[in-house]
């Protein structure tokens, strides 16, 4: 067990920082890498695991603090796991609306039964930039892709992701409810156990 009071999050995404801080609780203060650098590392890995470790090492190197990185995305069964690690830049970096439009276009005329998907989250925690033993925690959240966007909450692909256990889209969940059942919540639960956080 490591004694952590603060961690730097390898992300400039304010939504992600807020979401992960809420899940971590008060025991650990999460700081944004934006406090230390505006430069994003190049995500050259071919998997969520590789990219999470790469981002965590970069953040630890820039900040001198233990670092937490989240690499997450949407893997659609019909598309062979795409957009996968390219989820955030699926539509060439044109933003959430363009990503969602491209996904709907790719699944045009695909029946509901073949629209299975999962949100994937891999959390990587390194004590320092050269940590030989990163802590890795994975969370999967299974659902399917809707035919059209629905809901106002969340970000990214949330309006297109149907959550069977709640009978709503991810974007129709309250932030508190989403933080209980999402891919990120599942990965964070494992991380809290690993760090012995209550």
pTM: 0.90
Q: Residue 198: what pLDDT?
A: 58
Q: Residue 13: what pLDDT?
A: 84
Residue 14 has pLDDT above 90, yes or no: no
- List the chain domain ranges: 6-194
C-alpha closest to that of 74 among 180, 156, 147: 156
Q: How many CB atoms lie within 10 A of CB 5?
A: 9
Which tokens in the block code for residue 174?
Answer: 């309250």
Residues 18-56: tens digit of each pLDDT: 888 988 888 889 999 999 998 888 889 999 999 999 999
Q: Residue 3: what pLDDT?
A: 63
Which of 1-5, 10-14, 37-41, 166-170 has maximum average pLDDT?
166-170
Q: Which of 70, 71, 92, 131 is catalytic?
A: 71
CA distance 57 to 51: 10
Which tokens in the block code for residue 128?
Answer: 């320092």
Range 6-194 classified under CATH 3.20.20.150: no
Catalytic, 96? Answer no
Which tokens in the block code for residue 148?
Answer: 């059209």
C-alpha closest to that of 120 among 180, 184, 172: 184
């Amino acid at each position: 067990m490591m004694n952590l009071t603060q961690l730097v999050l390898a992300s400039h995404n304010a939504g992600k920082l807020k979401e992960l801080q809420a899940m971590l609780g008060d025991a650990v203060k999460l700081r944004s890498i934006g406090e230390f650098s505006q430069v994003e590392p190049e995500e050259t890995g071919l998997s969520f695991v590789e990219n999470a470790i790469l981002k965590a090492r970069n953040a630890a190197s820039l900040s001198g603090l233990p670092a937490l990185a989240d690499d997450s995305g949407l893997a659609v069964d019909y598309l062979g796991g795409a957009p996968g690690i390219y989820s955030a830049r699926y539509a060439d970096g044109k933003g959430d609306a363009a990503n969602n439009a491209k996904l709907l276009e790719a699944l045009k005329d695909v029946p509901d039964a073949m629209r299975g998907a999962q949100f994937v989250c891999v959390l990587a925690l390194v004590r320092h930039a050269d940590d030989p033993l990163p802590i890795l925690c994975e969370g999967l959240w299974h659902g399917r892709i809707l035919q059209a966007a629905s809901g106002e909450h969340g970000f990214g692909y949330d309006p297109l992701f149907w959550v069977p256990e709640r009978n709503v889209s991810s974007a129709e969940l309250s932030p508190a409810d989403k933080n209980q059942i999402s891919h990120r919540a599942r990965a964070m639960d494992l991380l809290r156990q690993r760090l012995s956080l209550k």
